[in-house]
Amino acid sequence: MDFISKQYEDVKDKLAKLDTDRKNNLIVIRNLEQKVENLERAQKQASIEIKNIPVIKKEAKEHLIQLVKKVGESVDCCVEENQIRDVFRLKTAKEYNRPVIVDFTTVTLKEKFLESFKKYNKSSDNKLNTSDLKIEGQRRPVFVSEMLTQSARKLYFHTRQFSKDHGYKYCWTAHGKVFLRKEEGAPTRRIDNEADLGKLLHPQDK
């Protein structure tokens, strides 16, 4: 009987150790994932996306540079060619109007560009569209936003859906992070993961 009891205790100890090791490994994995996320965010901190611009035939980098300058002129944010570190189309399943990625030389210019775009859309009767950029074809709205990491993009998607489902008026990103606000004057909530959304529904679980 003592032998069986000892075996039982040994198995319990081994299971407890395995559980502790598993939890420690999960912590290490989360820390590594966060480091990768921080590195990706740092790489994209001066980058934006320009969406809904149709691809033209034999499109070259020079065409995209001129596009960025034209968008800048339209929203009153002058951009020189030497202020653009790189510009390219993002590879997606849809070939027609793949997003244009712009990597500026400074974060300051990126922030100014985004702010100018927002101000233009707020003050203009017609928000920025392809006709403003002298692009032929059907008039389409043009969207400008900061470049997000893959995980931040996914979190932003879920947070936008959450805001629609639960009556949150404001949902936005800044400096690669996702924010949420119920209404004008309400506190701003930074959303770091999907668990934060659950905490908004069940504050007692914090």
| 14: confidence class by pLDDT, cuts 50, 70, 90 | confident
State whether 70 and 117 are in the same domain. Answer: yes
State whether 72 and 28 are in the same domain. Answer: no
The pLDDT, as a whole number, for residue 73 is 97
State whether 55 and 66 are in the same domain. Answer: yes
The pLDDT, as a whole number, for residue 9 is 80
Enter the pTM of the model: 0.80
State whether 19 and 57 are in the same domain. Answer: no
Once rounded to an integer, what is the mean pLDDT over residues 174-201?
93
State whether 89 and 127 are in the same domain. Answer: yes
- Per the structure, the complete domain to which residue 37 belongs is given by 1-43
State whether 103 and 159 are in the same domain. Answer: no
Q: Select from 27, 43, 59 the last residue of a domain.
A: 43
State whether 16 and 71 are in the same domain. Answer: no
Give yes or no for residue 28 having a pLDDT over 80: yes
Q: Select from 96, 123, 146 the last residue of a domain.
A: 146
* Long-range Cβ contact pairs of 37-45 (< 8 A, separation 24 or more): 37/149, 37/151, 37/152, 40/149, 40/150, 41/149, 41/152, 41/176, 44/146, 44/147, 44/148, 44/149, 44/176, 45/107, 45/110, 45/175, 45/176
Tens-place pLDDT, residues 123-157:
988 899 999 999 998 999 999 999 999 999 999 99
State whether 93 and 127 are in the same domain. Answer: yes
Q: Per the structure, how many domains does the chain have?
A: 3
| 89: confidence class by pLDDT, cuts 50, 70, 90 | very high
